[in-house]
Amino acid sequence: MRDIWVFPFLFFFLLSFLIISRHLASSAAVVLTTSSQHILSHINECDALLQFSSSFTVTGDASYEYCDDYGPITTSYPKTASWKSGSDCCSWAGVTCHPVAHRLRELNLDGIDMSRVSPMSLANFSSSGLTSLSLSGCNLRGIVPIDIFHLPNLRSLSLSDNYYLTGTLPQTKNWTSPLVSLNLSSTEFSGSIPASVGNLTSMTILDLRFAQFTGSIPLTFGNLVHLTHLDLGYNMISGGIPEWFWRVGRDTLTYLDFAYNNFNGPLPDLPPSMVNFYASSNNFSGEIPSSICRAKSLNHLDLSINKLSGTIPRCLGDLKSLSSFDASSNNFSGEIPSSICQASSLEELVLSNNRFNGTIPRCLGDLKSLLLFDASSNNFSGAIPSSICQAKSLEELVLSNNRLSGTIPGCLGNLNSLYASNNSLTGEIPSSVCQMGNLSRLFQLDLSYNLLQGPLPQSLANCTSLQSLNVSHNAIIDTFPRWLNAFYGLETLDLQSNRFHRAIEIPLPPQISYLSLSNNELSGQLPINFLLNSTVYFIDLANNSFKGPLPIPSPSIRYYSISKNEFNGDIPYQLCSATQLEIINLSNNCLTGTIPHCLMNFIDSLSVLDLQGNQFVGQIPEIISPGNNWVRTIRLGQNQLGGMLPRSLTSCKNLEVLDLGENELEGHFPYYLDTLPYLQVLILRSNMFRGPVDSSKRTSHPFPKLRILDLSDNSFSGRLPAEYIANLIAMKNEEKCGLHYMGQDYYEDTISVVMKGTELVLVKIMTVFTTIDLSRNFFEGEIPEAIRDLKALKGLNISHNNLAGRIPPSVENLTNLEWLDLSSNKLNGEIPRGLANLTYLTTLNLSYNQLVGPIPHGPQMDTFNHSFDGNPGLCGPPLSNPCDTLEQSPPHSTSPEEEEGQWIEWRAVAMGCGCGLILGISVGYTMLETGRPRWLVRMAERKRHRKTNRLNRNAAPRNLLRQNNQEEHHRPMRWETRQKMVRGGSIERSGNLSV
């Protein structure tokens, strides 16, 4: 509450001084001369200032930081150090008096910390002659009273850089003021800009940048004909810029900033006096008006991040004063006009993120002042012009994400940064790089995602200023460069996805903080001192052929990936010292031993723990520390872990992926996991879990985000988990917000799933991918009707169980279903005709059930060849046995009377069969007892003898087949025997699939 009172009392201080000074003057009018009155008033002003200065905290460095940033050091520090009793306040720092009247005229206390100003200290200070008040960067807080804008002689008011200062401009129609300069930038002032601002006809500077103003530009702005500087940037002002607006400072306006608002519509003409125009980050549309070229003094033109289109006006080359032109992130097209090279003062030319085409103009070498050229993310083609070498002043060249081809020029001038990634550049990196002073200042080199070949040039060792080297995703063939030891400033080294080979023979230079060598052909054992004294925080050695023990990273490591190598041995205990680890990926190696407890308890930082595909044994460690709210992915599958699943996993409230498949875990279904609010992937396949799949009953929405559920190849029994199926919210809602993949920076979730009958590795998991696999268990009963609600489901596999009953007709609601496997169960009845309407269904397996009747016809159904084997009761295409006309005709509906008649008819049949059965038993008994008639007895004996012989011949093969079927049904599918399949889509060397 104290902060809110700061500004009201400050204004009261200013206002009350006028009252006090007038009262003192009138009381002493009888005995004092006019000169004496001025002296007394001036003394009172100084006393008030001194009392004011004693009310706020002043430290040794008060006001230093502000003045050092915003202007030359011309006063003592702190400012109020010169404020002493008995001295003339006109000589104090920050105080300016009238040269004749010797009264306070200007007060500048910029940078003084007033966050603890006592409101009482402001009670006796005001001055009628105050013309300028500047309290910028004073850490003022609270609400500014409206009356401060009504001080009668105030011409300049600056309250900028008080980030917690709030207030509004006067909204009354009769607001008048002699204000010439008003600066409220970097405050929390809000509301609309009032129409009464048009009454301030003397205004030359209006700076409202970085505030919270809304609404549109008022009509009365046209009255500000003397305005030279208008800054409305970084607010929330909207609407178009009307034509009449350009009456504002028509002949005087030199600075105009509309950046980061919500303006729309076309760009109107600029006044000829304009020098700096900033319109970035709005919704301006249309073309750049050619009349903009009438502003011959234009120096900075920023039109970035809008919806502008068309081509670049050729007349921009006539603007000889233009030093910066930014047209990035629009919809411009066409070629860069060669006339742009006539803008001889041009220092920065930024055209990135548009649809420009053609070639890079050769005349760029003629721009002798050019420092930055950014043409990234366009459709430029052709080669990088060799004329770049002539641009001696060019420091930064950005050509990434185009269609450039050819080789890299041997001479690139005096660049310190070259970005040419994601093009089609060929050949070798020029050997002239950093030779004889060429590019000796180079500190950023990015040539990634090209078609470069050959070795790295040895001359790179001469680039002593190099800080970042990225040549990833090329076809460079070389060994790990030994000359890296010559670098003392190299921090980032990215050589991934090339053909670097052989062993690494040198330790990592200690200053390197980012190292990526993944997807190469490196081999052998790393030097024992490879990471000795290293400060690397990111290391990726994945997908090589490294052997031996794991390299021990520095305690500062955050990302540690050595997956898909041949590292062996235990996880070193020193890894537990890396308490800032965020991602650990040790998957697909030959690591042994148990999982250290510390890896499950990096609660402050760990996001991903991936130990998949090793030879770890023992139990999964308990999570000792509660509240592990950061871990997002745990992958421990394809190991030899046993025992029970720890219940402490429920403390991982942000867990999204839990993959424990293909281990030797046992116990009942971990129902307690259904309370995890963000779990999307749960894989428990090929373990030794048993019993029914029941819910925890602790939540009405179990597994609310679950999209991939794989419980296959266990010993689960009982009925299918209908309660779970009915509440899988994420599988009910179809996601239609574009293609998104699970994962985060530098790590993408990878899982293996049985899809369409084949096990595939998904190197990327789309958020729309949803599947349920409950196959190879002992589930029984019927398929629950709730399955119909899972409309986002892509795949369903409940094969090799003991399910019975009919296939629910409501399965036709699963319109996104791509594969369905119900094989090897005891399902009966007819195949629902709605299956033929599932247009996305590409794989169907209903084999080895007890289905009957005709197979539904449809474009998809007619393509399935072996999907119906083992169902003798099925008929029709694609099977060879046709259906009878009677079987193909739809069932006849009957009335109640017909049903009653049929009941009577069948009752008569039953009575007749019963009598016949009794008579037959009696005759048979008599025949067996008497042996007569003999011909009938001999016939029966011969038939019994032939049947016995046939059964004896077939018994052994049938028993052997039954034994094999039982073993196949109950044997877990181990990792070594599973099929692999080269993925479609984006292909990696591992031959995996991105779905």
pLDDT digits (tens, 9 = 90+) for 768-778: 789 999 999 99
Residue 156: predicted pLDDT: 93
Phi, psi of 422 (to 5 degrees): 55, 55
pLDDT in tens, 314-352: 999 999 999 999 999 999 999 999 999 999 999 999 999
Residue 284: predicted pLDDT: 96
pLDDT at 52 > cutoff 80:
no
Q: 327 has which bridge partners?
A: none
pLDDT at 16 > cutoff 90:
no
**Of 359, 352, 298, nearest in space to 326 by CA:** 352
Return the H-helix or E-strand segment holding 627.
none
Taking a C-beta distance cutoff of 8 angstroms, is the pair 516, 493 a contact?
yes
- Residue 226 domain-assigned (yes or no): no
pLDDT at 896 > cutoff 80:
no
Return the H-helix or E-strand segment holding 742.
none
- Residue 769 domain-assigned (yes or no): yes
Per-chain mean pLDDT for the chain: 81
Q: How many helices (H) and strands (E) does the chain have?
A: 8, 65
Give the separation between CA 349 and CA 407, rounded to whole angstroms.
24
Q: Cβ of 227: how many Cβ atoms within 10 Å?
A: 22
Give the separation between CA 131 and CA 96, rounded to whole angstroms.
10
pLDDT at 33 > cutoff 50:
no
Strands 141-143 vs 229-231: parallel, antiparallel or unpaired: unpaired
Would you say the C-alpha torsion 703, 706, 711, 717 has a positive or negative sign? positive
Helix or strand or coil: residue 865?
coil
pLDDT class for 464, splitting at 50, 70, 90? Answer: confident
Token pair for 169 = 């401009």
**Angle formed at CA 695 by CA 694 and CA 700, multiple of 5 degrees:** 150
Instruction: Please write down the HEC assignment for all residues of 900-951.
Output: HHHHHHHHHHHHHHHHHHHHHHHHHHHHHHHCCCHHHHHHHHHHHHHHHHHH
Give the separation between CA 482 and CA 818, rounded to whole angstroms.
52
pLDDT in tens, 740-755: 667 666 677 777 777 6
Alpha-carbon distance values, 568 to 72, 530, 550, 600, 992 (Å): 63, 17, 7, 21, 24
Residue 634: predicted pLDDT: 93
Tell me if the pTM is above 0.85: no
- Residue 178 domain-assigned (yes or no): no
Q: How many domains does the chain have?
A: 2
How does DSSP classify residue 138? S
Phi, psi of 641 (to 5 degrees): -70, 145
Q: Which among 150, 179, 198 is the end of a domain? A: 150
Residue 2: predicted pLDDT: 45
pLDDT at 485 > cutoff 70:
yes
Alpha-carbon distance values, 164 to 141, 287, 558 (Å): 5, 40, 36
Residue 117: predicted pLDDT: 60
pLDDT class for 699, splitting at 50, 70, 90? Answer: confident
Token pair for 237 = 């002002």
Residue 818 belongs to domain with CATH number = 3.80.10.10
Residue 624: predicted pLDDT: 67
Q: Which among 841, 869, 885 is the end of a domain? A: 885
* Span 443-467, average pLDDT: 92
pLDDT at 548 > cutoff 60:
yes
pLDDT at 463 > cutoff 90:
no
Taking a C-beta distance cutoff of 8 angstroms, is the pair 660, 684 a contact?
yes
Of 462 and 771, the structure prediction assigns the larger pLDDT to 771
pLDDT class for 503, splitting at 50, 70, 90? Answer: very high
End-to-end C-alpha distance for the chain, whole angstroms:
57
Of 893 and 338, the structure prediction assigns the larger pLDDT to 338
Helix or strand or coil: residue 806?
strand
pLDDT at 974 > cutoff 50:
no
Residue 757: predicted pLDDT: 67
Alpha helices in 392-438 (DSSP H): none
Alpha helices in 107-160 (DSSP H): none
Strands 583-585 vs 608-610: parallel, antiparallel or unpaired: parallel
- Residue 42 domain-assigned (yes or no): yes
**518-522, 610-614, 637-641, 920-924: least confident range:** 920-924
**Of 317, 382, 389, 379, nearest in space to 349 by CA:** 317
| CB neighbour list of residue 943: distance below 8 Å, 6 or more residues apart | none
Residue 948: predicted pLDDT: 45
Task: Report, in angstroms and rounded to the nearest whole number, the Rg of the chain calculated over CA atoms.
Answer: 42
Q: Cβ of 970: how many Cβ atoms within 10 Å?
A: 12
Q: Cβ of 78: how many Cβ atoms within 10 Å?
A: 22
pLDDT class for 961, splitting at 50, 70, 90? Answer: very low
Of 916 and 488, the structure prediction assigns the larger pLDDT to 488
**121-130, 656-665, 790-799, 807-816: least confident range:** 121-130
Taking a C-beta distance cutoff of 8 angstroms, is the pair 751, 771 a contact?
no
**32-36, 629-633, 935-939: least confident range:** 32-36
Q: Which residue has the tokens 């960067």?
A: 137
Give the separation between CA 666 and CA 645, rounded to whole angstroms.
8
pLDDT at 555 > cutoff 90:
no
pLDDT class for 440, splitting at 50, 70, 90? Answer: low
Taking a C-beta distance cutoff of 8 angstroms, is the pair 573, 548 a contact?
no
pLDDT in tens, 233-290: 999 999 998 777 776 767 889 999 999 999 999 997 888 899 999 999 999 999 999 8
- Residue 245 domain-assigned (yes or no): no
Give the separation between CA 673 and CA 696, rounded to whole angstroms.
8
**444-448, 483-487, 543-547, 679-683: least confident range:** 483-487
- Residue 718 domain-assigned (yes or no): yes
pLDDT class for 42, splitting at 50, 70, 90? Answer: low
pLDDT class for 918, splitting at 50, 70, 90? Answer: low
Strands 751-755 vs 758-764: parallel, antiparallel or unpaired: antiparallel
Give the separation between CA 127 and CA 105, rounded to whole angstroms.
8
- Residue 767 domain-assigned (yes or no): yes
Residue 736: predicted pLDDT: 59
Residue 975: predicted pLDDT: 36
**81-90, 317-326, 544-553: least confident range:** 81-90
Q: Which among 94, 121, 150 is the end of a domain? A: 150
pLDDT in tens, 149-192: 888 888 999 999 999 889 899 888 888 889 999 999 999 999 99
Residue 268: predicted pLDDT: 79
pLDDT at 38 > cutoff 90:
no
- Residue 759 domain-assigned (yes or no): yes
Q: Cβ of 153: how many Cβ atoms within 10 Å?
A: 13
pLDDT in tens, 219-234: 888 888 899 999 999 9
Residue 733: predicted pLDDT: 80
Residue 737: predicted pLDDT: 53
Which residues constitute the domain of residue 10?
3-150
* Span 352-360, average pLDDT: 97
Residue 627: predicted pLDDT: 54
Q: Environment class of residue 825 by beta-carbon count within 10 Å: exposed (0-12), middle (13-18) or buried (19+)?
A: buried
